Amino acid sequence: MSGRDALSSANSAEDAGSGSGSSGTPYSSSPPPSTEKKKGKTRVSRTSLILWHTHQNDASAVRKLLQEDPDLVNARDYDNRTPMHVASLHGWIDVAKCLLEYGADVNAQDRWKNTPLADAEGAMKHNMIELLRSHGGLSFGQNGSHFEPKPVLPPLPNKCDWEIEPSELDFSTTSVIGKGSFGEILKAFWRGTPVAVKRILPSLSDDRLVIQDFRHEVNLLVKLRHPNIVQFLGAVTDRRPLMLITEYLRGGDLHQFLKEKGSLSPSTAINFALDIARGMAYLHNEPNVIIHRDLKPRNVLLVNSNADHLKVGDFGLSKLIKVQNSNDVYKMTGETGSYRYMAPEVFKHRRYDKKVDVFSFAMILYEMLEGDPPLANYEPYEAAKYVAEGHRPLFRTKGYIAELRELTEQCWDADMNQRPSFLEILKRLEKIKDNMSQDHHWHIFTQ
C-alpha cells in the first residue's frame, strides 16, 4: 500500500549524493570546481557499487571495494541506509562479516531510525540476528523492539472540502477487493454511490511512516484530473482508521483480465495501450511530472465488464517532480515498484527519470500481446535481474504487427534516453490504429 513495500531491498545509492567518511582536512585553497565535481561523481559511483554488490551477496566484490576505500563501509544512500542494513535485511552473513571486519557501524540508523538488527529481526534472519547481537547490535527504529511511539501529527491537519465523514460511508454490504501490507481496499457506498475505499489497518494507524505515505498519496491524488486516471473522491484524515476514497471500477484490474482472456487481438491491445498511454502522458506533463514507479497490470483498472475503457490507478509509490530541465535525471529511491515490470536502471540503483514508466508500459504491452507475464518462467526478482543483465522477453506468438513490436522494443531499450515519451507513443499507436481501421497494408512479422 505504500512506499515501504520498496524497502525490502537496498535503496538507490545515487540518492545518497555522497558517501560517509569524507575527509575533513582543511586546505588553503579549494580545488577547481570541475575536480570537486569529478570527486563527487566518483564517490556516488563507488557508493552505488558497494550497495549493489552487498545486495547481490558478492562478498569478494565488497571486500575488493573496501580494500581500495575503507570509508565505503559506512556509505549511506538517500535513506541513510548502509551496506550493513542491506546485508542484514537479506541475511547475507559472509558480506556482513566482511563489513564488520572493516569496522562497519553495527548500530547505524537509517532515516526511519532502524538499525541493521531491527531490519534483521523484521525479516526474521535468525543467523544474522545472532551475529549482530554478538557485535553489540541493538534493535532500534520503526521495526525495532525498542521503538518508542511518539505522537503523530494528523496527516492533513487542515479541513478540506474533500474530507469525508466516516458516517457517510456504508460498509454494510462491503467486500474486499484488494489487500496490501498496510491495509485493504474495500468496495463500499458513499451517499449511495459505489466507491473503492483504501483503509489503513487500525493497528498501523499511528505508524509514522505509514501515515507519511498515506499523506503523500492523498496530496498527490487531489491534483489529478484525467479520464484515464482513477478519480479521487475524498479521504478520512482526522479519524481512525485513515481512509482514501476513489471511484469504483466494476471491470477489475488488467492482471485478472489477462489471466482470464489470455493474449489480446492487436486492435484490443492497441486500444488498451492508448488508454494507458493517455493517462501516463498526462502524468508526465512538465513541469510537474508525476512518475508512477509501479506501473503494472494490477494497477491498470477496467471501467466496466465490457473492457472498453482503462484507467491508471494506485499512486502509493508515485513521485511528484518539479522539472527545471527536460533532461533532468532524478535522485530517487532504487528498487521501487514491482520487479517483473521494473526498468533495469531502477533495479541497478542508478539514477533514473520518467522513462522508467515507459519501460513498464512496454512490459505491459508485451503481456497484452502474448497473454503471459513477461518472463513468466522466472520468479519476479530473478526476472528483474535477468532484464538488468540485458535480456528481454521473447516474442513467441506467430503473428505480429511489425510496427507494434518495434514500438515495444524501443520502449524497453536499455538506454532510457532512447525510449520514446508517452506523447510520441500516442502518435505512433494512433498511426498503427489508423492503418488497421482503414484496412491499409501493414506488415506482419512472422517468427
| Residue 153, domain member (yes or no) | no
Whether residues 262 and 130 fall in one domain: no
Give yes or no for residue 319 having a pLDDT over 80.
Answer: no
Angle, vertex CA 235, rays to CA 231 and CA 237, nearest 5:
155
> d(Cα 273, Cα 279) in Å, to the nearest integer?
10
Whether residues 295 and 433 fall in one domain: yes
Q: What is the pLDDT of residue 159?
A: 55
Give yes or no for residue 282 having a pLDDT over 60.
Answer: yes
Of the three residues 206, 229, 247, the one that is the final residue of a domain is: 247
**CA trace torsion 152, 158, 159, 165 (10° rounding):** -10
| Residue 145, domain member (yes or no) | no
What is the per-residue burial (b if ≥16 Cβ within 10 Å, else e) of 108-119? Answer: bbbebebbbbbb
Give yes or no for residue 334 having a pLDDT over 50.
Answer: no
| Residue 275, domain member (yes or no) | yes
Q: Which residue's C-alpha cell is 489508423?
A: 434
> If pLDDT is split at 50, 70 and 90, which confidence band does 180 have?
low
| Residue 142, domain member (yes or no) | no
Q: What is the pLDDT of residue 259?
A: 93
Q: Cell numbers for 229, please give them.
A: 486516471
Q: How remote is the C-alpha of 103 from its chain's centroid? A: 32
Task: Give all strands (DSSP E) within 85-191, no chain letters.
Answer: 169-179, 183-190
Q: What is the pLDDT of residue 174?
A: 87
We report the CATH number of the domain holding residue 400 as: 1.10.510.10
| Residue 311, domain member (yes or no) | yes
The more confident residue out of 395 and 352 is: 395
Pick from 276, 197, 288, 209: nearest CA to 6: 209
> d(Cα 324, Cα 185) in Å, to the nearest integer?
36
Q: Per DSSP, what are the bridge partners of residue 246?
A: 196, 232
Q: How remote is the C-alpha of 158 from its chain's centroid? A: 29
Whether residues 304 and 199 fall in one domain: no
Catalogue the long-range contacts made by 165-169 (C-beta closer than 8 Å, 24 or more residues apart): 165/236, 166/236, 166/239, 166/243, 169/195, 169/197, 169/236, 169/243, 169/245
Pick from 227, 222, 223, 342: nearest CA to 275: 227
Pick from 215, 196, 191: nearest CA to 205: 215
Q: What is the pLDDT of residue 59?
A: 94
- What percent of the chain is predicted at pLDDT more than 70? 77
Given strand 232-236, what is the order of strands in its sheet? 169-179, 183-190, 193-200, 243-247, 232-236
> d(Cα 141, Cα 244) in Å, to the nearest integer?
27
Catalytic residues: 294
Q: Cell numbers for 133, please give them.
A: 547481537
Give yes or no for residue 317 having a pLDDT over 80.
Answer: no
Whether residues 264 and 400 fall in one domain: yes
Give yes or no for residue 141 having a pLDDT over 60.
Answer: yes
Please check whether residue 324 is in contact with residue 390, taking contact to mean a CB–CB distance below 8 angstroms.
no
Q: Cell numbers for 299, please give them.
A: 494497477
> d(Cα 311, Cα 276) in Å, to the nearest integer?
7
The more confident residue out of 323 and 22 is: 323
Please check whether residue 47 is in contact with residue 18, taking contact to mean a CB–CB distance below 8 angstroms.
yes
Q: For residue 174, give the 3-state DSSP assignment.
A: strand
| 26 Cβ neighbours under 8 A, 6+ residues apart | none
Number of domains in the chain: 3
DSSP 158: S
Give yes or no for residue 392 having a pLDDT over 90.
Answer: yes
Give yes or no for residue 212 having a pLDDT over 50.
Answer: yes
Task: Give all strands (DSSP E) within 142-267, no chain letters.
Answer: 169-179, 183-190, 193-200, 232-236, 243-247
Indicate the range of 200-204, 311-315, 443-447 predicted with least confidence.
443-447
Q: Cell numbers for 407, please give them.
A: 514500438
Whether residues 224 and 178 fall in one domain: yes
Whether residues 263 and 216 fall in one domain: no
Give yes or no for residue 411 having a pLDDT over 80.
Answer: yes
The more confident residue out of 19 and 81 is: 81
Question: Rounded mean pLDDT of 21-47?
Answer: 46
Whether residues 80 and 39 fall in one domain: yes
We report the CATH number of the domain holding residue 218 as: 3.30.200.20
DSSP 32: P
Whether residues 373 and 282 fall in one domain: yes
| Residue 396, domain member (yes or no) | yes
| Residue 357, domain member (yes or no) | yes
> d(Cα 287, Cα 84) in Å, to the nearest integer?
38
Element (H, E) at 289: strand 288-291
Q: What is the pLDDT of residue 347?
A: 86
Q: What is the pLDDT of residue 143?
A: 52
> d(Cα 418, Cα 416) in Å, to the nearest integer?
5
| Residue 375, domain member (yes or no) | yes
> d(Cα 103, Cα 125) in Å, to the nearest integer?
21
Question: Rounded mean pLDDT of 381-396?
Answer: 93
Q: Per DSSP, what are the bridge partners of residue 290?
A: 320
Question: Rounded mean pLDDT of 227-243?
Answer: 91
Question: Rounded mean pLDDT of 327-336?
Answer: 40
We report the CATH number of the domain holding residue 124 as: 1.25.40.20
198 labelled as ligand-binding? yes
The more confident residue out of 360 and 9 is: 360
Give yes or no for residue 155 having a pLDDT over 60.
Answer: no
Domain that holds residue 368: 254-446
> If pLDDT is split at 50, 70 and 90, which confidence band does 332 have?
very low
Of the three residues 80, 111, 134, the one that is the final residue of a domain is: 134
Q: What is the pLDDT of residue 33?
A: 45
Whether residues 71 and 189 fall in one domain: no
Task: Give all strands (DSSP E) within 303-415, no chain letters.
Answer: 310-312, 319-322, 399-401
> If pLDDT is split at 50, 70 and 90, which confidence band does 42 have?
low
> If pLDDT is split at 50, 70 and 90, which confidence band does 149 have?
very low
The pTM is what?
0.65
Whether residues 293 and 361 fall in one domain: yes
Whether residues 187 and 104 fall in one domain: no
Q: What is the pLDDT of residue 422?
A: 97
Of the three residues 247, 266, 298, the one that is the final residue of a domain is: 247
Whether residues 67 and 94 fall in one domain: yes
DSSP 144: S
> Residue type at 26?
P
Mean pLDDT of the chain: 80
Question: Rounded mean pLDDT of 330-359?
Answer: 76
What is the per-residue burial (b if ≥16 Cβ within 10 Å, else e) of 344-367? Answer: bbbbbbbbbbbbbbbbbbbbbbbb
